[in-house]
């Protein structure tokens, strides 16, 4: 019986130790019907208040095992609070050459994170809008969710 009463305390301890105090933003947006098309732009408005710390910016993708290709090109646009803009084309490798998925997950769904910007300092406080677009030659792809994650870097 002692083990049963200790279980809630152990679960609470694990939950508290897994809290991410350096997390600034972490959101996924579901893709309509789990099929990402050229026309489907996903926007992520992020409120930034810390202009002194460095940040890591990640792009995130969830896809099914029906994904037919090894990679995923995305067009990334970032618009800052003073109107500044950054546009990039990013190539996310989804599978190894032998077909092994790079993402983690069980069953038919895999999740993958790509470091987009390392040690980034935001120049101005305010809203930064990240827009992600599917940039492949194939019009429709089995991508269920896309996301943006921003973490503060501890020196």
Q: Return the domain boundaries, the chain.
A: 22-152
Instruction: Specify the pLDDT at position 66.
Output: 95
Q: Which fold has domain 22-152?
A: Jelly Rolls (2.60.120)
The whole model's pTM is what?
0.85
Backbone angles phi, psi at 83, to 5 degrees: 95, -5
Distance in angstroms between the alpha carbons of the first and the last residue of the chain: 45
Mean pLDDT by 10 residues, the chain (155 residues): 44 46 93 96 97 97 96 98 96 95 94 97 97 97 98 85
């Amino acid at each position: 019986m002692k083990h049963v009463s200790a279980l809630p305390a152990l679960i609470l301890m694990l939950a508290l130790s897994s809290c991410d105090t350096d997390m600034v933003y972490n959101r996924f947006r579901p893709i309509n019907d789990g099929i990402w098309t050229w026309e489907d732009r996903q926007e992520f408005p992020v409120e930034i208040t810390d202009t002194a710390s460095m940040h890591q910016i990640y792009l995130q993708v969830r896809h099914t095992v029906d994904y037919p290709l090894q990679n995923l090109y995305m067009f990334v646009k970032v618009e800052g609070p003073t109107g500044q803009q950054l546009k990039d084309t990013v190539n996310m490798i989804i599978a190894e050459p032998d077909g092994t998925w790079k993402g983690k997950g069980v069953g038919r769904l895999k999740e993958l994170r790509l470091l987009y910007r390392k040690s980034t300092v935001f120049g101005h406080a305010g809203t930064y809008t990240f827009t992600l677009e599917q940039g492949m030659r194939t019009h429709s792809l089995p991508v269920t969710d896309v996301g943006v994650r921003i973490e503060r870097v501890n020196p």
